[in-house]
Amino acid sequence: MKKQILLLVIITFVLTNCVSPKIYKELEGKYSNLKQENRKLSEENEDLLSAKTTAENELKQLQIAYDEAIADRDKLQGDYNAAKANFDNLKGSYDALEKNSSASIAENSKKNRELLAQLEAKEQALADENARLVRLKKELEDRSNRVAELEKVISDKDAAMTALKDAISRALTDFEGKGLTVEQRDGKVYVSMENKLLFNSGSWAVGTEGRRAVQQLGTVLGKNPDIAVLIEGHTDNVPYQGNGQISGNWDLSTKRATAIVNILRENAAINPENLTAAGRGEYAPVATNDTAEGKAKNRRIEVILTPKLDELSKLLKEN
């Protein structure tokens, strides 16, 4: 959090002193949108994981209670069977003694009444325990179904993202070995394009080959309207040496990200509300800046594709 606050202060200082009010307001708005989107995704992801953990814990507790209830019922059943066997033995003795002694009859009659009362109590306890078992079993089934629903939605989202990754890989197969990679991690798809594919040094104008790559990516995204698309611009740590139109690496990375967004917006099938552009400057490297090869990897555009969590949010609210 401290790092994010420091970055926000640096952004504010740089943009306030080096960018015109109009551009500053635009960048400030885009940065605010990015923060809100990031916060929303983080909160939704945390809610989902928390709900799943809670459901699993409740499922474990219900399973323990269910097992204990089964053991109690079995014990009551054993007590009932033993009492009934004793009653049957006494009844047999009673029948034999009835012929010989009125005193014995009276004594056995008293014992029989006591045993009958015990049997009735055991029967009632057994019925109550069976009713509790039925309730516990229903709760256990409900919790199991909830966990299964959550797992299915998560699994479907992962499968959809895997299919999206495969579709993008097929669409961009012509650009393999040209600084383009497609990865899936943490439930998202990352499309990374090194600047050598997209831009000339110090420029934010997309070249012919890079435009073709972005357009082909856009064709796939147009068929997946439920995907949030974050375009991040990145640079190495070499200070920008160009003309006065750019205030530094952060400004350059933002303009490059915006250039990619503008190409994607040419595709009418892509909802502009799904698009977000962000500049990260040199502050999110993927390799060392101590070598030319590392710097080349750091100069890149990353397109981060995230599934919308509307279905998961609805499921959480319903439960």
How would you classify the pairing of strands 300-307 and 275-279?
Answer: unpaired
Structural domain boundaries of the chain? 20-52+161-318, 56-158
Structure tokens at 43: 């909160």
Among the ranges given (97-106, 162-171, 212-221, 270-279), the one the predictor scored with the smallest mean pLDDT: 97-106
Look at the pTM and tell me if it is higher than 0.85. Answer: no
The residue behind tokens 């005193």 is 103
| Digit-coded pLDDT (tens) for 7-50 | 555 555 555 555 577 777 777 787 787 778 778 777 777 777 78
In the DSSP assignment, the letter for residue 288 is -
- What is the spatial distance between Cα 275 and Cα 314, in angstroms, rounded to a whole number? 23
**Given this structure, which CATH class describes domain 20-52+161-318?**
alpha beta
If we measure between CA atoms, which residue out of 166, 162, 161, 153 comes closest to residue 229?
A: 161
3-state SS track over 191-211: EEEEHHHHECCCCCCECHHHH
Residue 223 has a pLDDT of 94
Percent of the chain, pLDDT > 70?
A: 87
Q: What is the pLDDT of residues 213-250, one digit of tens each?
A: 999 999 999 999 989 999 999 999 999 887 778 889 99
pLDDT tens figures, 58-108 = 888 888 888 888 888 888 888 888 888 888 887 777 777 666 666 666 777
Q: Which residue has the higher pLDDT, 273 or 201?
A: 273
On the 0-12 / 13-18 / 19+ scale of CB atoms within 10 A, 296 is middle
With residues binned 3-state (H G I as helix, E B as strand, rest as coil), the percentages for the chain, rounded to 5, are 70, 10, 20
Q: Which residues pair with 184 in a beta bridge?
A: 189
Q: Which residue has the higher pLDDT, 51 or 204?
A: 204
